[in-house]
Amino acid sequence: MRLSASRNLLAAGLVMAVAASCMLDWDRLDPSEGVGGQGNTTTVGVCEPGTTAPCYSGEDGTEGVGLCVAGQTTCDSDGNGYGPCEGEVVPVAEDCDAPTDEDCD
């Protein structure tokens, strides 16, 4: 009888030890790692505030042709993204009376 009780206590102790080792602090886990949780709640910016980057929304192959040029976009003060593209010139309908290439072909 005594041996049986010892085995039961040993089994219960092992179950509790395994259960304790399986407990995780879910709020510190990164959801992108596929294990759940909220991940790190510190927001990491996508850009360095105030930095600029070239931007162009015209069709491929038109940048630098005719009047078409890239513009600049500036990272916002929080580093969460870039603002509008400023200064870009994209293709527009050709004006046959103008000496310039407005449709950038």
Q: Give ∠ CA 85-88-91 in degrees, rounded to 5.
A: 125
Taking the C-alpha atoms of residue 98 and residue 88, their distance in angstroms, rounded to an integer, is: 20
d(CA 102, CA 65): 9
Model confidence over 51-79: pLDDT tens digits? 999 999 999 999 999 999 999 999 999 99
- pLDDT at residue 7, as a whole number: 55
Together in a domain, 26 and 52: no
Global pTM? Answer: 0.55
Integer Cα distance of 79 and 82 in angstroms: 8
Domain check: are 50 and 83 in the same one? yes
Say if 93 falls within a structural domain. yes
Kind plus residue range of the DSSP H or E element containing 52: strand 52-55
Domain total of the chain: 2
> Which residues are registered as beta bridge partners of 53?
73
Residue 40 located in a structural domain: no
24 with 62, same domain: the answer is: no
Residues 54, 29, single domain; the answer is no
Show the domain range for 16: 2-33
pLDDT of residue 101: 94
